[in-house]
Amino acid sequence: MIVRQRANWLKMLFIWRGSVLKKIIVQLTIITLFSLAIYYFKGKIFDYKVHLNPTIFTLIGLALAIFMGFCNSASYDRFWEGRKLWGLLVIETRSMTRQILSLINDPSPVAGEEKQKIIKMISAFCWSLNYQLRDKSGTEHLSRLLSQEQVDQLKGKKFIPGIILEFIADWLNEQNKKGNIDTIVLTALDHQLNQFSNISGGCERIYNTPLPFAYSVLLHRTVYLYCFWLPFGLVDSLGWMMPLIVLLISYTFIALDAIIQEIGEPFGEEENDLALNSICRTIEFSIFEQAKIPQGELKKPDTYFID
């Protein structure tokens, strides 16, 4: 996802990155050439004059705009819910890290190393959820944050975030058996794990339940049929300006259709999807800083929104 400071009006006209224009430039070119052909032949097809009243397009355009507004709201709800879930994950990882560092009383000389291991597991959970939602393995991060034994246990598994939560739960149970965690603290930490599981389940719900396909097909077909029939309704009233007006109207409808499809799948890797890599780096940086774990080459992200 890209979020930048709003540029002046002139620069906004020519911004390319983050715009859906490059995805629809071919469609717009075809529609413009088609409009030019309709203007050249005066709205005739094989000597048959196609008579379409512009009022019809006003009515259809109004209905189409209302329907697109509904679909856009539904897509943005999915996008924003995904962002809230990952924002909650940022909060919960920091809270759990604080509880581990302050509430686990381990007198052994290797207590610090043990706590660092569990905090690395928390970061591994975030990266694994990221790659689960993007259908990637993410093994480079798991091998960096987990032990070789744990990495071997993950081979062949389909839902890696759930397995990593089990690793964390096993570590907490071990600390409880050693007497380093009392029942109240264990209950609080178990609640944090439940929150991780809820966040993971919420993201899966969005990922596995796209917008109804019938909505997408209906919207897509209606937009393109409207744009290709529009030149016949405007050629007589607008003359040589008709291709330009059709291009402007087509850009508005087709671009909004593309945006609806793009943000409706918020966990992808397109420019307007959620910046999951940046969020994971932010989580890792912050909890490693809390635990005084060397950051290595990891740098604090300037923003959540440049993936």
Give me the residue spans of the domains in the chain: 17-51+212-263, 77-209+271-291
Distance CA 252, CA 27 (A): 12
Average pLDDT rounded to a whole number, residues 98-107? 86
Helices (H), 41-159: 54-103, 111-133, 139-145, 148-154
Per-residue pLDDT of 116-133, as tens digits, reads: 999 999 999 999 999 999
User: Is residue 305 scored above 70 in pLDDT?
Assistant: no
**Predicted local confidence at residue 2, as pLDDT:** 58
- Other CB atoms within a 10 A radius of the CB of residue 119 amount to 23
**Predicted local confidence at residue 71, as pLDDT:** 92
Q: How far is CA 179 from the centre of its chain?
A: 42
Per-residue pLDDT of 273-296, as tens digits, reads: 899 999 999 999 999 999 888 876
Which of left, alpha, beta for 43 (phi over 0: left; psi -120 to 50: alpha)?
A: left
Reported as a pLDDT band with limits 50, 70 and 90, residue 304 is very low
pTM for the predicted model, two decimal places = 0.87
In 3D, which of 106, 108, 151, 111 has the Cα closest to residue 128?
151
How far apart, in Å, are the Cα atoms of 160 and each of 89, 157, 190, 201, 278?
17, 6, 19, 13, 20
User: Is residue 170 scored above 50 in pLDDT?
Assistant: yes
Comparison of pLDDT for 50 and 2, the residue scoring more: 50
Task: Please state at what angle helix 54-103 crosses helix 242-263, rounded to 10 degrees.
Answer: 30
Helices (H), 146-212: 148-154, 160-177, 183-208
Average pLDDT rounded to a whole number, residues 159-172? 93
Greatest CA span in the chain, whole angstroms?
93
Distance CA 2, CA 307 (A): 8
Distance CA 218, CA 214 (A): 6
**Predicted local confidence at residue 5, as pLDDT:** 61
**Predicted local confidence at residue 49, as pLDDT:** 79
Reported as a pLDDT band with limits 50, 70 and 90, residue 53 is confident
